[in-house]
Each structure stands twice: as C-alpha cells, then as structure tokens.
C-alpha cells in the first residue's frame, strides 16, 4: 500500500486506506463538490510505525487490562500509550514521501518559505461511519507550516487514536481494532464556518439545518459559541433564521501562524453570519451530497472571500425524536434541545477536566461548553446542560448517539444551577425544571425517518381510500393496491356485470376507487394488482352462486390463471388503467398475481395491447410460487418491469403448509431458510437484469424481514399503513450497517 495518496485519487470505498474522513473527501472531489486540495498519509504509514516497534501488542495489553468506565485508569492508560507512540520517529520512508507531497501541494519547489499553511486532520478507519460518527475523538491541527511542524502534527494525530475519549468510544461501540490515516489539506482561512445537517438531527424534521459562526470551525464544533441557526426546506426556501450573540472566535494570527481566540468585534457579534446566497448555496451542496450518498449528511464547511469549501461529510448517525410528554414545574432556565429526551438527577458543575471524575451515575452534567473530553463521563450521566454550543457541536452529536438528553446554549446554567441541586431536564423543549419530576418515558417515541434517509423505497399496501394525504406524505408509493375490496363493497360479482353487458359499470367502479389513490401519490408509483378473486371470497356477491366449489381455494382458480380464463374482466381492468393514464395518472402500473409461466405474462400483454395499454403502463409480477422463483430469469428476459414477493403464498407453497390450518401455524414462517433463499435468488437475478424487486406480503411489515431483504439488495419494501415508520427505521438501520 502507498504511504501517501492524493485526495483526488481516492473515493468512499477507500476507508481502509484513508479512513472515513479521507474517503469521503475524495468522493466529494469526484462529484464536483468544492474541497480543499490535499493528500492522505495512509493507514499503511501508521501501521508501519506500529510494526517496526511492535506497538500493537503492547497497546492491546494495556487497553485489555483496564475498565474504560474507570476514568482515572483510562486517563493513565491513554497517557502511557500516547507517550509510547510519540517517542518513536516517523519512519524515514514515510517522512520523505510526506515532505515530497507537501512541497507538491504548496507548489513551492525547494523553497521552504513558500510552503503552504495546511490543516492536519485525523481520519481513523473507525470514524465517520454510517452507524457511529466518532465525532471529535481524534486530533486536528490548523495553520500548520513547515516540514518539521507537519511531521510533528501527523505524529500527534497518530497518538490521538488513543485519547481517553477515543479508547472509551471504540470500546462502547465494539471496535476492537482501528487504524488511522492523516489528511493534509491546504488551509482555508475561514472568515466564517459551520456545520450543516440535511435533516434536523434533533427533531427528525426533513429540512436542511445550518449553524454558522465567525472564524474557524473549531469554535462551533467544539461548542465554544452559540451559533446562528438557519433552516432551509427541501424546495430551496429559507424558512427560519435565528441570529445569536457570538462573543468569541478563532482566527489565524498572521505574525505567529498560530490559531488564536479573539473577541468578536461588536459590529459582528449580533450580525448574521451567512448571506442569503451562501445559505442557499450550502443547502444545494447538502442536498447533492444527500442524494449521492442516499442518506442524510452531517457536513462541515468554511467560507473564505465568499467562496464555500466543504471540509467534511458523514452520515447522520442518530434519529430525532418527537415529544409526547408534558412536564409541569418551576422553570429554572431554557436553552436549545440538542439531544432529545427527559431525565432527573443531581447537578454536577464541570468547569475543567479535574471535575470530570466527580460525575456519578445518574448525575446531570452542567458545563460552560461541550467537549469530547466529556465522553467517558457522559455514559454515567443522565443528561447534559451547557452555557454555550449548538446542536451541531461534537458532544451534541455524541449525546444523540448515546441517547443522552442534552440542552445547549443555556447561557448562564453554570451560574444559576448549584452543585448537588436536583433538577429535571426536558431536552425536547430545552427547559430545566426545579426538583425531580416524574416523567413517563414510555411515551417518548422515535421521530419518523424521512423518505430521503433511505435508498430502499418504503411503500404501502392499500385497499381502501382513507387517510390518503397523510399516507402519501410518508410512503414512497403503493406496492400493492388490491381491487377486490372495491368490488366487494359494490356487492355485485364482476362476472355478472360482464355477462349482462355492464362492463362500463365495472370500469367505473375501478376508476372511482383507484383514481383518488393515484392522484394522492402521483408521481410516486402505484402498483395495481389485477383481480385475485378466490371462489370462496366472491361466492356471497350477487351473481356469485356460480362460483365453483373448491377443496382448497387458495390453491385454486384465482390470480392470473382466472383472469386469462375470463379475459373480458382483465380487459376491463386494463381499460380503467388506460383511461386514468390518459388523464395524466401515468404513475399507475400493473401487477399480475400468482403467475407460474412466461406464457401467462405474454397472454396478459396481448390483452393489454388490444386495449392500448401496453405502451403506457409497466407490467410486473407477484412472486408467490416456487415456479416463479425457479424461472425468474425467464420472466426478466420476457421484460417484466418489477417483481414483488407475496410471502403468505410463497411460504405456503414452499413449505407445503396450508396457511389456513391452525394446527400447522407454528411450522409456517417466512423466515424459513428455504423461503429466504428463494427471495435472495430472485433479488440477485432481478438486480442483474435491472428489474425492481419488492415485497408486499404480510412479512413486509416485519422490521426484521425488512432488514434481511435490504441486506439481500431488495429495492423496495411495501408494508401495512401502521408499519411505515417502523419499516423505514429498520431499512435505515440496515442500510447504515451495510455502508
């Protein structure tokens, strides 16, 4: 492996080489996002140092012999390991490559005076992951100049892999091994900077949230200031602007090339940081990244002379929560809810690192500003309150990941609250109450995951027209629209209507029932399943007395086999869909149930061609029989547009179990290896041919099944109305694990 690689030579798949931060920087360059140029000192460089001095085994023994919840021992172990790493020189072959790349980045030739100012940033392999951000766990150094200072900063980044907070965080997230890359980029002399989320991480609201402050970004991510806050909807409209009082900022001192902390000039302290154009441009970049990665992003940016640079992106690792609690009591203070939740406990004022050790389990941490150094103690705390900081600070992110309620920007919390005082924290509304107040946590619920958060579409199964606007706003389409219920509500068997020359009535029934759904979801797809009428279900309708007596109607005359035997019914269904297409409802598509041969699809297409629908609507199939599984490739070659699993029938027919027989209910499971293997085979083949796969059977409403199918590569999951959010969450979690 190379010791050095340019950022424009790597992409998101190069986590092992350049760490999470570096891989994402390279990926952004590839898609045209403005990223400062630079290079990665790869994990091979760090690994070489470890191998040369057998450090890996020595460090492992130290870490394995401590309890990471024992703060004092954790601090001692970290100090010993960091000193061990820093005591060794950077391997010569690595140093030569670093110096060569630094000169090339600086365009300096051999003149050391022309070397560029650079930012040196850690990029661990267990960092900026879809499931854990590791926010602020390793070191970064700004305004670095000269080869010696650069080499020293890189070594400090290596050592920071063993900061107490980083050791603790990896242990709690189950990362036994981690390596580290170091990113070196040309320094952006930020006049303003900040953090952007493409979904509000606190509430789950589907808006772009931007927080910004003057100067370098350390102030905002370190929680040293209460930043401006802007919200932009996904249509590109600024919907909320909150300007804060920003008292301190970090800037480069030109004389010493060091980062210094300064008072914000009075004229700028209460002035809006970002212009309208900058807000909208940032939101545009955010949405590009969200679409590219297929999930909401946490993005850091800097602005120099009106030019925006994106310096980091990673997946949002937490889900917002909505509030369903009410607390009554005496209010002590108010801030901004940064990590939702509620808790009661004793106040522990933390003014410095020495105070961290006094935090006991269940205490409320009250501090001037959030800091990653608090992470080891945070696991013991019930909640966190800070004077300064915003919802995008590092510790706020970690609070959300650890599900610890946090209130930031409470201004005077460290002065108003007293050590040992008992309080109740409502981190939904950002309010602190006097005393312990009982809170029913059972009514705290996860917020809905927005549709933009998942690449796998989450659709809904429908039969009736009700709550349409609400459902259509949550789902990505209709994966199964049953028309049988429209007919049973009408009360007359469709065969009777056709025999009596009343086909127009049948067409009208279908249009009246389907149109409102198609309109509510347009342009999202609506898959209309053609009539799947079993003889026992339609016998009680007017005209149903001619239905045949079948020993097992579930295995009998229904689905596409019946539709082809009664082609006038199928023609009427196709006519209804065609007319709605002509009215602009082109999102309607046709799904054929219970197919077992490509000839059935061919015959159905000929009927669609007769009525003029074939060139308008896509046609797909239900996969409910072992036959359809075994010949799925033939169906794909036949040109089907999609395939959706009907798991009730697929399970019944695969296992040879009558799903209506209560004696066998304990044997019937869609999780049977044979059923799962059948679905995986279909998904693999369909993905090869570019055919969308979905599920609309009952198990599509089971979060565990949804996770399995996402792992297999399914493109959409269609569930019952009440399961939309649970399935969206399950899909989101699985997609994060796979990334």
CB atoms within 10 A of CB 340: 28
CA distances from 109 to 5, 7, 92 (A): 19, 21, 21
Q: How many other C-beta atoms lie within 10 A of the C-beta of residue 182?
A: 33
Ordered DSSP codes for 577-642: HHHHHHTT-TTEEEEE-S---HHHHHHHHHHHHHTT-TTTS-EEEEE-SHHHHHTHHHHHHHT-SE
CA distances from 587 to 477, 571, 576 (A): 9, 19, 14
* The Cα angle at residue 604 between residues 603 and 606, in degrees rounded to 5: 65
| Strand partners of residue 228 | 212
Query: What is the arrangement of strands in the sheet containing 336-339, beginning at the earlier edge strand?
Result: 331-334, 431-434, 422-426, 342-350, 364-367, 383-386, 406-408, 336-339
**Cα–Cα distance measured from residue 302 to residue 339, given in angstroms and rounded to the nearest whole number:** 25
CA-nearest of 176, 148, 140 to 38 is 140
Using CA atoms, how far apart are residues 671 and 668, in angstroms rounded to an integer? 9
* Helix spans in 241-311 (H): 266-269, 276-293
- Tally Cβ neighbours within 10 Å of residue 447: 19
The two tokens of residue 252 are 């480069």
Phi-psi region of 29 (alpha: psi -120 to 50; beta: other; left: phi over 0): alpha
Rounded CA Rg of the chain: 30
Residue 450, token pair as written in the block: 């927005």
Residues marked active site are found at 394, 696
Q: In this structure, are residues 30 and 11 in contact, taking their beta carbons and an 8 Å threshold? A: yes
Residue pair 134/30 in contact by the 8 Å Cβ criterion: no
* Integer angstrom CA distances of residue 58 from 62, 80, 167, 667: 7, 11, 15, 52
- Written as six digits, the tokens of 50 are 């470890």
């Amino acid at each position: 492996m190379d010791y050095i690689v340019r950022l424009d030579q790597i992409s998101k798949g190069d986590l092992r080489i350049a760490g999470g931060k570096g891989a994402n920087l390279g990926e952004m360059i590839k898609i045209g996002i403005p990223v400062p140029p630079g290079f990665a000192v790869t994990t091979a460089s760090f690994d070489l140092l470890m191998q040369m001095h057998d450090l890996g085994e020595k460090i492992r023994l130290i870490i394995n012999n401590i309890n990471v919840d024992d703060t004092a021992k954790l601090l001692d172990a970290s100090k010993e390991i960091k000193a061990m790493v820093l005591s060794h020189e950077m391997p010569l072959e690595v140093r030569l490559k670093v110096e060569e790349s630094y000169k090339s980045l600086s365009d300096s030739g051999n003149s050391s005076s022309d070397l560029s100012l650079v930012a040196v940033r850690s990029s661990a392999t267990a960092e900026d992951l879809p499931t854990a951000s590791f926010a602020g766990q390793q070191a970064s150094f700004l305004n670095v100049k000269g080869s010696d200072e650069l080499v020293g900063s890189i070594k400090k980044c290596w050592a920071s892999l063993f900061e107490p907070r980083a050791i603790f965080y990896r242990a709690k997230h189950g990362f036994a091994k981690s390596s580290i890359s170091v990113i070196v980029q040309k320094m952006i002399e930020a006049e303003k900077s900040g953090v952007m989320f493409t979904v509000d991480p606190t509430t789950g609201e589907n808006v772009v949230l931007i927080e910004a402050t003057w100067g370098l970004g350390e102030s905002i991510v370190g929680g040293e200031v209460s930043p401006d806050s802007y919200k932009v909807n996904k249509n590109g409209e600024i919907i909320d602007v909150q300007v804060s009082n920003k008292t301190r900022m970090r800037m480069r001192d030109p004389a010493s090339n060091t980062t210094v902390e300064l008072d914000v000039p009075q004229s700028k302290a209460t002035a809006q940081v970002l212009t309208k154009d900058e807000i909208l441009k940032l939101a545009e970049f955010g949405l590009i990244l969200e679409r590219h990665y297929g999930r909401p992003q946490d993005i850091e940016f800097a602005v120099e002379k009106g030019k925006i640079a994106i310096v980091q992106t990673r997946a949002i690792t937490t889900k917002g929560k909505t509030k369903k609690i009410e607390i009554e009591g005496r209010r002590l203070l108010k801030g901004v809810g940064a990590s939702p939740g509620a808790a009661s406990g004793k106040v522990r004022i933390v003014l410095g690192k020495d105070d961290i050790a006094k935090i006991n389990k269940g205490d409320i941490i009250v501090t001037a500003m959030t800091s990653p150094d608090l992470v080891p103690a945070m696991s013991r705390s019930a909640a966190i309150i800070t004077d300064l900081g915003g919802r995008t600070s590092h510790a706020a992110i970690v609070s959300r990941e650890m599900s610890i309620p946090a209130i930031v920007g409470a201004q005077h919390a460290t002065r108003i609250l007293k050590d040992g005082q008992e309080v109740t924290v409502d981190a939904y509304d950002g309010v602190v109450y006097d005393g312990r107040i009982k809170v029913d946590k059972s009514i705290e619920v996860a917020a809905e995951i927005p549709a933009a958060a998942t690449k796998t579409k989450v659709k809904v199964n429908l039969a009736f027209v009700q709550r349409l606007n609400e459902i259509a706003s949550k789902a990505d389409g209709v994966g199964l629209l049953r028309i049988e219920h429209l007919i049973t509500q009408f009360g007359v068997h469709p065969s009777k209507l056709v025999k009596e020359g009343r086909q127009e009535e049948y067409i009208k029934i279908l249009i009246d029932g389907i149109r409102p759904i198609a309109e509510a979801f347009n342009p999202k797809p609506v898959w209309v399943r053609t009539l799947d009428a079993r003889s026992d279900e339609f016998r009680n309708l007017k005209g149903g007395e001619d239905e045949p007596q079948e020993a097992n109607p579930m295995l009998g005359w229904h689905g596409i086999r019946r539709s082809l035997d009664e082609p006038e019914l199928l023609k009427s269904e196709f006519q209804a869909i065609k007319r709605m297409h002509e009215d602009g409802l082109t999102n309607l598509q046709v799904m054929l149930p219970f197919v077992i041969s490509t000839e059935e699809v061919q015959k159905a297409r000929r009927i669609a061609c007769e009525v003029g629908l074939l060139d308008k609507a896509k046609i797909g199939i239900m996969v409910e029989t072992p036959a359809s599984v075994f010949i799925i490739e033939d169906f794909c070659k036949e040109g089907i547009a999609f395939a959706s699993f009907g798991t009730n029938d697929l399970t019944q027919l695969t296992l040879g179990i009558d799903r209506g027989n209560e004696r066998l209910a304990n044997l019937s499971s869609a999780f049977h290896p044979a059923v799962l293997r059948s679905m995986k085979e279909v998904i693999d083949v369909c993905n090869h041919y570019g055919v969308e796969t979905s599920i609309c059977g009952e198990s599509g409403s089971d979060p565990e099944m949804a996770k399995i199918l996402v792992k297999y590569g399914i493109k959409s999951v269609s569930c019952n109305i009440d399961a939309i959010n649970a399935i969206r969450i399950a899909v989101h979690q699985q997609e994060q694990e796979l990334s």
